[in-house]
Amino acid sequence: MSISVSHRLAGILAAVTSLGACVPAGRQPMRPAPPPLTVTTVAPAPRPSAPTRPSTRPQPAADLLNAVQALGASFKGQVGITVRDIDEGWVVAWDGDTRRPQQSVSKLWVAIAVMDAVDRGQISLSDRVTLTRADLTLFHQPIRALIGADGYTTTIEELLRGAMTRSDNTCNDVLLWRVGGPAAINRMLDAKGVEGVTFGPGERVLQAKTAGLEWRPEWAGGWGFLQARAAMTYEARAKALNRYLAAPYDGASANGVTLGLSLLAQGKLLSARSTASLLTLMRSSKTGPLRLKSGLRPGWSLAHKTGTGQDLGSLSTGYNDIGLLVAPNGHRYAVAVMIASTREPIPVRMRLMGDVTRAVVASAGN
């Protein structure tokens, strides 16, 4: 049941102080039009050790509604923000249904597909894989330094670690094709009920299309792609980038991403062992330490995945962080901040993400 705050949450918002007073200093005041803030109540996740729930349906705290609305409305850019309480069954979202570029957030779905294949006995984490230079992709790929003329042999487990903790594009791409490619990921998402998420065409094709190019095998490693992109006119790149932003090839909504995180946390996507292994990797992520993670307080943990897209001039795209936020008492929240496009500098974007985490922590009273 989706409830528009501007029409059906008047009773809740009447108790909230003026939203204008909550706009962070230096940001624009909120738009006068009705804001795209929604609250949805869903069935809470069963927890055997949880106390008996009251008969009234749980609702998010008014200060969290206030904070999400203020942060979404004041940010100079296209952003979706969702906070999903996994254990009480409510969702607060700012423009949560609009599909935005995932970029490396989509590595989460590849990782789930890999662990699902492990659960079904199709592959093993100890399986050995040999990478050659033809397997290289572009942009961030630390494993590149290890691939010599004779290739580099490693394991599925190490590729998964590289993809999830260092966001290595080549590690992820090798895993992607190991489990059947983009079509297999989309079938898995559909079969497991992860709505609002579409997996794109894979790293090389995705980034080439985003820049207005068609991927060529000889670009493996990335230098050829960068040279070809640099030779394009600004107008051609802008046209391609605007096309991508209007209908992202890897589009996902903040609501859809947090649904997937919630299902993962509840053990509905993978076995208990595979769920624990994947969340451990996500808690060990080295990327984005000043995004969502910057708002943590002692005792709280975050298992997360970042995503960062291409820039054109001062315009940045696909700047994201999503994750499972756990309170000291074990209460769980799925959180997503997905910035489709903005001209705000990186510190402002990171501050927005940290502020969302801070808002959840504050509303929980911890």
pLDDT band per the 50, 70, 90 thresholds, residue 35: low
The interaxial angle of helices 169-178 and 107-119, nearest 10 deg, is: 40
pLDDT of residue 351: 98
pLDDT of residue 38: 87
- Three-state DSSP at 119 gives helix
Q: How many other CB atoms are found less than 10 A from the CB of residue 41?
A: 17
**Average pLDDT value for residue range 13-17:** 37
Positive/negative CA dihedral, 60, 61, 66, 72 = negative
Q: Of all residues in the chain, what percent carry a pLDDT higher than 90? A: 83
pLDDT of residue 52: 46
* Residues 70/37, Cβ–Cβ less than 8 Å: no
pLDDT of residue 366: 52
- Residue type present at position 81: I
**Average pLDDT value for residue range 104-129:** 98
**Of 52-56, 100-104, 133-137, 279-283, the least confident:** 52-56
CA angle 145, 147, 151 (to 5 degrees): 170
If one compares 279 and 41, the residue with the highest pLDDT of the two is 279
What does pLDDT average to over the chain? 90
pLDDT of 106 strictly over 80: yes
Cα dist. 286→42, 133, 169, 331 in Å? 33, 25, 14, 24
pLDDT of 231-283, one tens digit each? 999 999 999 999 999 999 999 999 999 999 999 999 999 999 999 999 999 99
- Residue type present at position 108: L
pLDDT of residue 58: 83
pLDDT of 42-98, one tens digit each? 656 665 555 544 445 688 999 999 999 999 999 999 999 999 999 999 999 999 999
**Rounded CA separation 22/20 (Å):** 5
Tokens of 31: 């738009």
pLDDT of residue 49: 54
pLDDT band per the 50, 70, 90 thresholds, residue 202: very high
pLDDT of residue 56: 59
**Average pLDDT value for residue range 303-326:** 98
